[in-house]
Amino acid sequence: MRSDRDQESLLLALTDVQREAALWNEGAMMLLAGPGSGKTRVLTARIARLFKAEPSAKWRILALTFTTRAADEMRQRVEELVPECVERMFAGTFHSFACEVLRQSGSHVGVRTDFKIYSSLEDRLLLLSEALMRADLDIGEPLDRALPVLDGLRDRLAGPDDCLRYFSDENRGKRFASAYDAYMRHLQAENALDFPAIIYMAYRLFTSFPVIADRYRRTYRFTSLDEFQDTNHAQYSFVRAFTGNDYKNLFVVADDDQVIYQWNGASPQRLQQFVTDYDPSILQMPTNFRCPSDVVLMANGLVSHNLLRTPGKNPLVAGKAEAHDIESVRLLRFESDDEEAAGVAADLAQKRVQNAGDVAIIARTKNLLVKVQGELAVLGIASQISQRRDSFASVPYQWLHCCLKIANRRTDPREFAAFVEAGNVLLDLKLEADDLVELARSAHGDFLRAWASEAQPLSAFAKKAVDILRTELVDRNDFRKFVRGLTELFAQPEWTLVETQPSFEEDQRAWRDLFTEISGQVGRLAPLDTFLQELDLRSKEPPMKTGVVPLLTIHGSKGNEFPHVYLMGLAEDVLPSFQSKKAGDRSPQMEEERRNCFVAITRCKDTLTLSYARVYNGWAKAPSRFLREMAIM
């Protein structure tokens, strides 16, 4: 079989240490894999090999990642090697796996299968407001400041009954404990979860009902965790609750030099915690096959100034054959941040690359990216700032999303109000949600059917949209045919309303990818509630267009690689940030800023261009200390 040959070729193509990792069988393993070391190939080869060894077995493999993109890529690679076994693998994020657990067994902790996920801040603040109002509570603080406190308590896995120890002010603690309890009860009454509640409730399920965790341990014989260094307390505790004390088939891939999510609870010390809890074998993959040797030396020099590193960890080793006629590293100096943006744009314009997508511009924050995007536009160069979107931006796709949500919950006033509002804008209607709710309750109780009976649009397009909804959603309840019909209608060039929506094309590309990815994750026969849960977990950010320059924050660049990389803003108070400087030269915050720089420079495959200015926002700044630590100035 072709897949057998592919798998054998993959193993033969690995280095000795990569092959040793891919051939690992039973027991705990921590693979210390630096940037560009081929960890994805190793993970894929190992999973495919384990499946191939027992192709008819019933056990499954759990592969946890930190991004849906990484999970989708891994699933695709495994499918190419062992297509007959890919259904035996769950590849997804921590939140996706927790949702899967709650769908199957959440009723034990009060979560029904068709739970809804609230991801937007606006929705969550409204829920908190409603919860406090119904409980007749006054938390004594603005809700936008109170909600992060509740999120922090759940990240610590503290419940309403045991959260007082986290407050120095007892009275404030009691107010928050009551508010926390009211908020969680309101979520349960709505059969809903927000992001922090997903891991929290799955953890509660495993710890309160160990027999359920044991069932998952017997199902998933092998577990792998990618980017393990990014786990926070809740995620790691969820894994501990899943594995218990006896399950050891845990294969984690980590790099403490790439911990850049301390603000979300990640810590370089998580690796030592894993060593203490699981006593794993440790294997190092320090060879970098991505970056030029000069960049590898710079990266080693940079992180050598950090103290919070795994003892005995080997420095990176350059493993890439290089063209000696290419200047791999450059440093550009400018007078101001405006001149830096213009200078970087002009320099990029002079590069002779066939695809603009081969050149990425990275910065610590979005502000510099906005400046350089404007300068690129002046030069006629298309670019796109990459950033997470929790919702669709165009009215057509907002309405499509609303259609699916009300079809899933046909008597939900909140969902119905959003659906009616979006429909009024898109289809030029003047319907009132309250009137339709009253009509439905006096008849069949179905809000969606009431809307379909009253919607009388004028335009030919709008009539087609309503007809598709009536036929496929109201009558047949076939959401896939509805989606197919509506997206085909959206694609018709004569629909001038759509063409005036500036974000429509982006949403169109995002929806196309999301629908394909989710179908691959949960299967093409999964019910609507499962599809919506996965949709709400994922960013609605459109895929990067071909021939467009990607503009990325450092956090957004993680997991990517580009032939040519620009890193802007290498000045004190920018990179490193003012907050890290204020915390101190030896602070954890400064060490994380150093790791931010490490991650950014190791995205490049061929060339790296660093830049800084003397003045930012009117304030004079010194060149970044990281330039000296990388021995570039």
Residues in Cβ contact with 241 at an 8 Å cutoff, skipping those fewer than 6 apart: 203, 206, 207, 213
Residue 241 DSSP class: H
Q: Are 527 and 338 in contact (CB under 8 A)?
A: no
Ligand-binding annotation for 34, yes or no, is: yes
Ligand-binding annotation for 584, yes or no, is: no
Tokens of 562: 């580009």
Residues in Cβ contact with 533 at an 8 Å cutoff, skipping those fewer than 6 apart: 99, 103, 115, 116, 117
Where are the CATH 3.40.50.300 domain residues in the chain? 2-100+202-285, 293-386+546-629
Q: Are 347 and 611 in contact (CB under 8 A)?
A: no
What does the alpha-carbon distance between residue 632 and residue 629 come to, in Å, rounded to a whole number? 8
Which burial class, exposed, middle or buried, applies to 443 when counting CB atoms under 10 A from its CB (0-12, 13-18, 19+)? exposed
SS3 of residue 491 by DSSP:
coil
Residues in Cβ contact with 91 at an 8 Å cutoff, skipping those fewer than 6 apart: 63, 65, 71, 72, 74, 75, 78, 521
Pairing of strands 250-254, 116-118: unpaired
Level-2 CATH architecture, domain 2-100+202-285:
3-Layer(aba) Sandwich (3.40)
So what's the pLDDT on residue 4? 63
Q: Are 285 and 18 in contact (CB under 8 A)?
A: yes
Residues in Cβ contact with 389 at an 8 Å cutoff, skipping those fewer than 6 apart: 510, 539, 540, 541
Strand partners, 252: 30, 225
Strand partners, 224: 63, 251
pLDDT digits (tens, 9 = 90+) for 364-415: 999 999 999 999 999 999 999 988 888 999 999 999 999 999 999 999 999 9
Q: Would you say domain 116-190 falls under CATH 1.20.140?
A: no
CATH of domain 293-386+546-629: 3.40.50.300
Low-confidence ranges of the chain (pLDDT < 50): 1
Which parts of 450-539 are beta strand (E)? none
Ligand-binding annotation for 265, yes or no, is: no
Longest dimension (CA), the chain: 79
Q: What Rg value do the Cα atoms of the chain yield, rounded?
A: 26
Residue 44 backbone dihedrals phi, psi, to 5 degrees: -65, -45
163: left (phi over 0), alpha (psi -120 to 50) or beta: alpha
Which parts of 110-249 are beta strand (E)? 116-118, 192-194, 220-225
CA distances from 136 to 122, 129, 133, 460 (A): 21, 10, 5, 49
The 3-state DSSP composition of the chain as helix, strand, coil percent (nearest 5) reads 55, 15, 30
> At which residue do the structure tokens 């898109």 appear?
426
Peptide bond connecting 588 to the previous residue in cis, omega within 30 degrees of 0: no
DSSP 243-308: HTTT---EEEEE-GGG---GGGT--TTHHHHHHHHH--EEEEE-EESSS-HHHHHHHHHHHTT-S-
What does the alpha-carbon distance between residue 208 and residue 205 come to, in Å, rounded to a whole number? 5
SS3 of residue 61 by DSSP:
strand
Looking at residue 193, its amino acid is L
Where are the CATH 1.10.486 domain residues in the chain? 395-537
Ligand-binding annotation for 39, yes or no, is: yes
Ligand-binding annotation for 15, yes or no, is: no
So what's the pLDDT on residue 442? 86
The pTM assigned to this predicted structure is: 0.93
Pairing of strands 604-616, 329-336: parallel
So what's the pLDDT on residue 484? 95
- Give the class (CATH, top level) of 395-537: mainly alpha
Residues in Cβ contact with 189 at an 8 Å cutoff, skipping those fewer than 6 apart: none
Residues in Cβ contact with 154 at an 8 Å cutoff, skipping those fewer than 6 apart: 196, 197, 199, 200, 234
Ligand-binding annotation for 319, yes or no, is: no
Ligand-binding annotation for 520, yes or no, is: no
Ligand-binding annotation for 37, yes or no, is: yes
